[in-house]
Structure 1
Amino acid sequence: MHLIWLLAWRFRSDKRQSGFISFISASSTFGIGLGCFVLIVLLSVMNGFERELKDKLLSIIPHAEFKSVYPQGIENWQDELSLLQQHPEVIFVEPFVKATGMLQKANKMKAVEITGLDPRWAEQGILPSLVSKTAWADFLAIESGIFLGSGVMQKLELEVGDKVQILLPQMSNDLSLTAPKIVRLTVLASLNLGGELSNHLGFIKMSLAAKTQNVSQGAQGFRLRYRDPFQAPQLTRDIGFKLKPEVYMSNWTISDGNLYQDIQLVRAVVYIALTLVIAVACFNIVSTLVMAVNEKQSEIAMLKSMGAKNGLIILVFMLQGTFNGLIGTLFGVVSGAFIAMNLASIANVIESLLGVKFLSGDIYFIDFLPSELHWNEVYMTAGIALVLSILATLYPAIKAARINPAQVLGH
């Protein structure tokens, strides 16, 4: 084995080797390293977006909603809510009444989605942490108070304490539209929900919402949060089919899942594209070794005439080509892992130097570049690069073993 290592290293570091071969060899090493580096960094960014999606956006929006098919709401909703609370995968549940209308301040109007919540259940959720203690106390005390997203506040040029009115569409018994119902409200707080959520959401008391929407039972449906939000589609179907009242079922992957689906799509495209980049770089190893074999024909013939077996020749050239893959993979994995672990800090420095912002908080639910390194993806990337490197050495190594010493030395 020592002889194989010695020969492979001598062939690789031979100073008589063509400069063109050295260039192709260096480019294959660089290509493999670059592919591994970019793949690890981009996968870490996708992991970071997925983490922030779970920790930020999915901590605000409900993972599932069950809404009564009847306009009067859910009968005996307290009993149904108690049953939902006992489900092992449900960590939070609350009743709600939802309405969509036009929010008006002076001559400015904006469409908003108003959710009516019961403070008794809402105070166990995320909403109280998004506002000050004073604002929450006002919400408990004032029947006509409203929390509005910061985007809505900015669009209508509102401030806390302003009086607004919302126009809610009404339907007659024959399903024709009648004059809208006007509800006057006081702005109690501005909610920074992140991205588009801040541009159309508002919260009022459920009792007021039920009164304006003619929900005689008091609650129109339930909002749930699960232990694992990514299991929401299956859990929502399972729970919804077991509920006694007839309900419409919805989960966050339907209402707000476009970002998550984009992340998964980009992850798949990145993995396929950069694996192909690594594969192309590995094909350069084939070119390098084929040219090296042609240059070393006389040395190979001498080794075979001295008794070297075909297996030894194959292993020597496989090992010579694997050096390139190993060096490139090591460089790419180490540098990629280092950058991925420090990407947020590096991005902040670049943003400060260039005076630009990579992500806008007005559009996305975060305003920084997230990153989360998963070591299993690092190992997989390194494994793919090494396997492709080894496979690329097979043809040139076998070609070297087939050299006929008599033919070569005879010339």
Structure 2
Amino acid sequence: MRLIWLLAWRFRSNKRQNGFISFISASSTFGIGLGCFVLILLLSVMNGFEKELKEQLLSIIPHAEFKSVYRQGISDWEGEITQLKAHPKVTFVEPYVKATGMLQKGNKMKAVDITGLEPSYAASGFLPALVSTSEWQDFKDDPSSVFLGKGLLKTLSLKVGDKVQILLPQLTDDLSLSAPKSLTLKVVGSLELGGELNNYTGFMHMSLAAETQNITQGAQGIRLRFDDPFEAQNLTQEIGYGLKPEVYMSNWTISDGNLYQDIQLVRAVVYIALSLVIAVACFNIVSSLVMAVNEKQSEIAMLKSIGADNSLIILVFMMQGTFNGIIGTLCGVVLGVMFSIYLADISLFIEGLFGIQFLSGDVYFIDFLPSKLEWHDVYLTASIAIGLSILATIYPAIKASRINPAKVLGH
């Protein structure tokens, strides 16, 4: 094996080697390194988006909702909540009443998705963490208070302490719309929910929302959160079929799952596209080795004439080509890992230098470029690159082993 390494390195570093062969060899190394670098970096960005999706957006929106099929709501919702809390994968449960209406301030109007919550249940949820202690206390003390997203406040030129009118549509017994009911609510807090949620989300007291919506049982439905939001689809069905009241089942993958699906789609596309980039770079290994074999015919012939067998010649040229793959992979992996770890700082520096912003907090649920390095992605990328490099050396190495020393030395 030591002889194989020595011959492979000698053939690769020969200063008399054709300049064009050296260029092709260097380009293959560069291509493999670039493919590994970009693949690791983009996969880290996708992992970062998935992490922020779970920790930010999915910490605010409910993972599952069970809405009564009847207008009067869920009768024994307190008993159902007690039963749901006993589920080992459920971390939070609360009743709710949801309505869509129009906010009006002067001559300005804006659509709002308003959710009525019971403060005693919501106190252990996400809402108190988004507002100050005094604002939360004001909300609990005043049944006619409301929290609104900061986008709504900006659109309607509202501030905390102002009063706003909300128009809620009413359904008749034959499910036709009647004149909307008007409520006057006091804004007690501004919410930073992230992205588009800021522009249409509001929270009020469940008792007032139920009264306005003619929900006589007090709660229109029950919503909950799981310890792992990515199991929501299966758990929602499992729990929903076990509830006594008849309910409509919904989970976050239906209402907001498009973002998660986009992340998974981009991840798959990145894997395929950049693996092909690495494969194309490996074709340069084939080209450089074929030309190297043609150039080294006399050296191969002399080796075979002094006793080198075909397996040794094959291993020498496979090792020579694999050098390019290993060097390119190592360079790409090191750069990819470093950039992935410091991507947030690098993006902030570029944003400050050129006065640009990669992600806008008004559109996306985050305003920075996230990154999360997963070592199994690094190992997989390195394995793909080195594996393709080894495969690329097989044909030229076999061709080298088939050289007839008598024919070559005779010329």
- In structure 2, the partner of 1:290 is 290
- AA aligned to 1:101 is G
- In structure 1, the partner of 2:4 is 4
| CA offsets 1:318-339 (integer angstroms, 9 cap, x no match) | 0000000000000000110011
Q: Does 1:339 align with 2:339?
A: yes
- In structure 1, the partner of 2:67 is 67
| CA offsets 1:293-345 (integer angstroms, 9 cap, x no match) | 00001110111111110000000000000000000000000110011001001
- AA aligned to 2:257 is G
- In structure 1, the partner of 2:35 is 35
- AA aligned to 1:53 is L
Task: Please state how far the C-alpha of 1:157 moved relative to its aligned partner.
Answer: 1.0
Q: Distance in 2 between matches of 1:346 and 1:264?
A: 25
Q: Distance in 1 between matches of 2:358 and 2:55?
A: 20
Give 1:11-22 correspondences, 5 Å limit. 11-22=11-22
Task: Please state how far the C-alpha of 1:223 moved relative to its aligned partner.
Answer: 1.1
- In structure 1, the partner of 2:246 is 246
- In structure 1, the partner of 2:206 is 206
Q: Does 1:164 align with 2:170?
A: no
What SS does the aligned partner of 2:276 have? Answer: helix
Q: Does 1:178 align with 2:178?
A: yes
Aligned alpha-carbon RMSD (Å):
0.6
Give 1:4-403 correspondences, 5 Å limit. 4-403=4-403
Task: Please state how far the C-alpha of 1:31 moved relative to its aligned partner.
Answer: 0.2
Q: Distance in 1 between matches of 2:174 and 2:67?
A: 22
- AA aligned to 2:25 is S
Q: Percent identity?
A: 73
5+ residue gaps, structure 2: none
- Give TM-score scaled by structure 2 length: 0.99
Q: Distance in 1 between matches of 2:263 and 2:156?
A: 33
Q: Does 1:405 align with 2:405?
A: yes
Task: Please state how far the C-alpha of 1:176 moved relative to its aligned partner.
Answer: 2.3
- AA aligned to 1:237 is Q
Q: Distance in 2 between matches of 1:171 and 1:403?
A: 88
Q: Distance in 1 between matches of 2:275 and 2:133?
A: 52
| CA offsets 1:18-75 (integer angstroms, 9 cap, x no match) | 1000000000000000000000000000000000001111111111100000010001
- AA aligned to 1:115 is T
- AA aligned to 2:303 is L
Q: Distance in 2 between matches of 1:259 and 1:156?
A: 28
Q: Distance in 1 between matches of 2:7 and 2:130?
A: 68
- AA aligned to 2:362 is D
Q: Distance in 2 between matches of 1:239 and 1:174?
A: 31
Q: Distance in 2 between matches of 1:303 and 1:141?
A: 92
Q: Distance in 1 between matches of 2:347 and 2:285?
A: 34
Question: Number of residues paired by the alignment?
Answer: 411
Q: Distance in 2 between matches of 1:358 and 1:341?
A: 18
